[in-house]
Amino acid sequence: MKIICISDTHNYHKTIKLPEGDIIVHTGDFSSRGYNHELEDFTKWYGSLKYKHKVLIAGNHDIGTEKKELEFKKMCTDNDIIYLNDSGISLEGILFWGSPVTPRFGNGWAWNRDIENLIPPRGTVYNPIKDHWDRIPDNVDVLLTHGPPKGVLDFTYYDQKHVGCPILLDKVLDIAPKLHIFGHIHECQGMDQIGDTVFVNASICTLQYKPTNKPIVVEIDNEKI
């Protein structure tokens, strides 16, 4: 099973030269700000691709996918796109799970969640982002998130620090999926491996928002999963 991995195309999707494969996955930030015309243009293009399955999650730039999620889900359904949001699907014997969530930064971004424990009025302590990672099933084969786990392909050029989610890292190390695909940190596009898990930062755009990175192709033997 050949999986084509892309992310962070930021409206440059039509410029990408895509290789042949079985399944394509896009891990978010396909738009600049998630305006309706951007979402419509992207979903029509993505849905027209000649892959057997087209899997998609949103990213922090795709603001309209959170503000008007029902409308966006319909765009995906109408264009034969599998849209995942804290949800999963089994394709060709492979269990995919996707989430758009990233640790909160700045203001006004989509799908940002606090990483610290919060204490609401009734005194029950909870962690907003952990609530999302706890939903990931232990038997997932391919995990799709928009942001990286802490310390894995997540080092930023300007801040010179690792900005991935430490709680996501704990979850991934615990469940050890075959493949974890994400984007978000453009300058760290590439692959890494920890234990049995292959990590892919599939960002197409560079730090300067130039769509010059190539799609990453990963092969999985689904008959042995």
pTM above 0.85, yes or no: yes
For 169, other C-beta atoms within 10 Å of its C-beta total: 20
Q: What integer pLDDT is reported at residue 125 of this predicted model?
A: 75
Burial of 213 (0-12, 13-18, 19+ CB in 10 A): buried
Residue pLDDT, tens place only, 68-108 = 999 999 999 999 999 999 999 999 999 999 999 999 998 99
Angle between the N-to-C axes of helices 36-48 and 69-78, in degrees from 0 to 180, rounded to the nearest 10: 30
Residue pLDDT, tens place only, 46-70 = 999 999 999 999 999 999 999 999 9
Low-confidence ranges of the chain (pLDDT < 50): 224-225
Distance CA 66, CA 64 (A): 5
Distance CA 32, CA 11 (A): 7
Do strands 82-83 and 87-91 pair parallel, antiparallel, or not at all (unpaired)? Answer: unpaired
For 144, other C-beta atoms within 10 Å of its C-beta total: 29
Q: What integer pLDDT is reported at residue 58 of this predicted model?
A: 98
Q: What integer pLDDT is reported at residue 141 of this predicted model?
A: 97
